[in-house]
Amino acid sequence: MQIHIVEQGDSLFSLAQKYNSSAVEIAEANELPEPDRLVVGQSIVIPITGSFYEVEEGDSLFEIAEKFNMNVDELADINQVSMNEPLNVGLRLYIPPAPKQSIETNAYIEPMGNQVSDNLIESARSRSPFLTYLAPFSYEVNRDGTLNPPLLNGFPAIANENNAALMMVITNLEDGAFSDEVGAAILTSEEAQNTLLEEIVRIAGEIGYRDVHFDLEYLRPEDKERYNDFLRKAADRLRQEGLLISTALAPKTSADQEGKWYEAHDYGAHGEIVDFVVLMTYEWGYSGGPPMAVSPIGPVREVVEYALTEMPAEKIMLGQNLYGYDWTLPFTPGEDMAEAVSPNEAVRRAYQYNVDIQYDEESQAPTFTYIDEEGNEHEVWFEDARSIEQKFNLIDELGLRGISYWKLGLPFPQNWLILSDRYDIIKV
């Protein structure tokens, strides 16, 4: 597929003409609610086979072929250009689609309140074809090892219909927050652990879970080895039942990284014990912190490169957000909270307030500012086709197992377009 960045004067009709597509196909692929409302700086995914590259100053055919992992003779032949003559700046070269690689994918889905919304049901139904795992969030463990289940209305059936494996997510959430006390109650009690594992095995058999995913966060530092020992015990028990085991890991860049989120997560031990891990490589920009990209490419790469020193690449799933945030300025951390927005909603606000979308090259993320009707200044950071492509490039470069999304429910159609264009999704 082709990623096009909207310029002044662009319309869906002109883009359709430029790329030999149709305005209707482009609008439907990007799920544009108002197709005539494009924003300068907005990324649009054009649903065509292959892509086009416009020659820039200093480009050579050899460099372009290398950039796209092509044979230079093949590139010259396809585009009917000579390898012995300089390329004209602005010349459009056709790049055929690369062979697809195979990866695993996961998406968490989090019902809120007393019922599952129609939006979440539809999101699960429309995205499960692109998923290896669908992960209802979450089974909250009690201090005695029993579990409080999430709402599951329709999720097991939807997963089954789309050959997506169910992931059973176990958390130490209590009253809406991760609890070190709940974690300690489980990790220091053999009886609670046995109860928990029997509960997991029973429920997994009843519902049809394929993977058991431990997302125990903000544990006490002194419980690190207890957590490792529990995972060894759990792995032995769960594998007897034919179940996979995985964990979620805080985004560390060193083994001795300080901070309550990090210290009890032992990358080396998890890499040895479990079948795979999900790196939570997002929330640098978060609702309670200052405005910045949610998953800037530099810090994300640093976490992955550290993880690769502790475990093989085929055990690593890259965490990826499907949302952004809108901060009202001035923002006071600890007092103010940013609003979570979908990429589609972010673009809608840029149009509403008549501002261009910028692209930050350092973080590889789109951003813009605007003034609302009450005179308040806002700063928005979100995801688009360009930013997600950078994460896919990182997965390919480092040979990672795949990608894990937090979370379904906020529309980001461009992600699924590019994902399906680049990869064959492994189904287990």
The structure's pTM equals 0.95
Paired with 280 in beta bridges are: none
How many CA atoms within 13 Å lie on the side-chain side of 278? 29
In a domain, 331, yes or no: no
Last residue of a domain, one of 49, 76, 95: 95
Provide the β-strand partners of residue 175.
none
Looking at the fold, whether 409 and 289 belong to one and the same domain comes out as yes
> In the listed set 95, 124, 150, which residue is the last one of a domain according to the structure?
95
380 within domain boundaries: no
The boundaries of the domain holding residue 119 are 101-321+385-425
Please indicate, yes or no, if residue 414 is contained in any of the structural domains. Answer: yes
In a shared domain, residues 212 and 263: yes
Which H or E element spans position 272?
helix 267-273
**What's the CATH number where 9 sits?**
3.10.350.10
Give pLDDT tens digits for 133-155.
999 999 999 999 999 999 998 99
Domain shared by 187 and 146, yes or no? yes
Rounded mean pLDDT of 275-295?
Answer: 97
Report the CATH number at residue 417.
3.20.20.80
* Position 119 in a domain: yes
Q: Is residue 37 part of a domain?
A: yes
Return the percentage of the chain with pLDDT > 90, whole number: 94
pLDDT tens for 298-311 read 999 999 999 999 99
48 and 161, same domain (yes or no): no
The confidence band for 168, taking pLDDT boundaries of 50, 70 and 90, is: very high
Closest CA to 378 of 387, 386, 370: 370
- Among residues 341, 368, 373, 372, which one has the least CA distance to residue 355? 368
- Tell me the per-residue pLDDT of 8-36, one tens digit each, with 9 for 90 and over: 999 999 999 999 999 999 999 999 988 88
* Active-site amino acid positions: 217
Q: Is the residue at 264 inside a domain? A: yes
Please report, as a single letter, which amino acid is at residue 270: H
Q: Looking at the structure, do residues 181 and 261 belong to the same domain, yes or no?
A: yes
Tell me how far apart the terminal alpha carbons of the chain are, to the nearest angstrom: 27
- Window from 10-14, 111-115, 227-231, 348-352 with minimum mean pLDDT: 111-115
* Same domain flag for 276 and 147: yes
Give the residue from 43, 66, 95 where a domain finishes: 95
Structure tokens at 251: 């985004």
Residues 241 and 170 in one domain: yes
Please, which residues have CB within 8 angstroms of residue 21's CB and are 6 or more apart in sequence? 15, 46, 47, 48
For residues 66 and 170, state if they share a domain.
no
Whether residues 89 and 209 share a domain: the answer is no
pLDDT at 115: 83
Residues 271 and 413 in one domain: yes
* 217 shares a domain with 68: no
For the cut 90, the answer to whether the pLDDT of residue 371 exceeds it is yes
Residue 308 lies in a domain: yes
105: in domain: yes
Could you give the CA distance from residue 280 to residue 298 in angstroms, rounded to a whole number?
14
223 and 310 fall within a common domain: yes
pLDDT in tens, 195-249: 999 999 999 999 999 999 999 999 999 999 999 999 999 999 999 999 999 999 9
pLDDT of residue 391: 98
Q: Count of domains in the chain?
A: 2
Encode 186-218: b = buried (16+ Cβ within 10 Å), e = exposed. bbeeeebbebbbebbbebbeeeebbbbbbbbbb
